[in-house]
Chain A
């Protein structure tokens, strides 16, 4: 019997919040022995500019965002043996401590899930076309890109 399994991939860009336990349950439905979840959260303090943040608004490039995330997930699936991937990224206005991004990866064994989750997040930060603007006291400031995000991707180049 052909035991070839399909990898379940879910990619969503949405205004609404997400429920980590619901997403974990979906990832658990596959033939899996390990799930690694990453959740990005809005910080209430801009460390680089030493200032507080009232809110943050995210915009993106519809269509290209999904394509870029699909490419990253595909590369990850080619590199590690995984059974499911979920990427959810929020857009619109968010407040400190709100959830921004979810990356969940399921696999038979934990190391593949750890590596894959880390890989997807590193490349998402440098390739997926999202932009953040921070709001404080009715002033807005577009967030500068972080060189350390580019550095983080170097470990995946073979």
Chain B
């Protein structure tokens, strides 16, 4: 699975993109966040601010309950500030 990060989230995690192999017990966004939080504290520091994080799966807004698989592209980013 491809995971993309933008804005301050990208800076906190230290990368704009990464490839991961989803473990069998990770089936939705909420479980993915738990999995990432267990990798290291950089993720924890980001995902603790969950109210400030938007999620997209395959370039469409979604929620933490959205189901995911290894073929998906997931993105985490803050509320948008364009225009």
Contact = CB atoms under 8 A, between A and B. Distances in A.
Contacts of A125: 80, 82-83
B3 to A, nearest CB: 13
B56 A61 contact: yes
- The secondary-structure label for the interface of chain A is mixed
A13 to B, nearest CB: 10
Contact of B75 (A64, A131, A145): A64
Interface residues of B, number: 16
Given A64-B56, A64-B59, A67-B60, A129 B83 contact: no
Could you say which interface size class chain A belongs to?
A: 20 to 34
A100 B83 CA distance: 7
Contacts of A124: 82-83
Interface of B: 4, 6-8, 56, 59-61, 75, 77-83
Interface of A: 40, 58-61, 63-64, 67, 89, 100-101, 121, 124-133, 142-146, 149
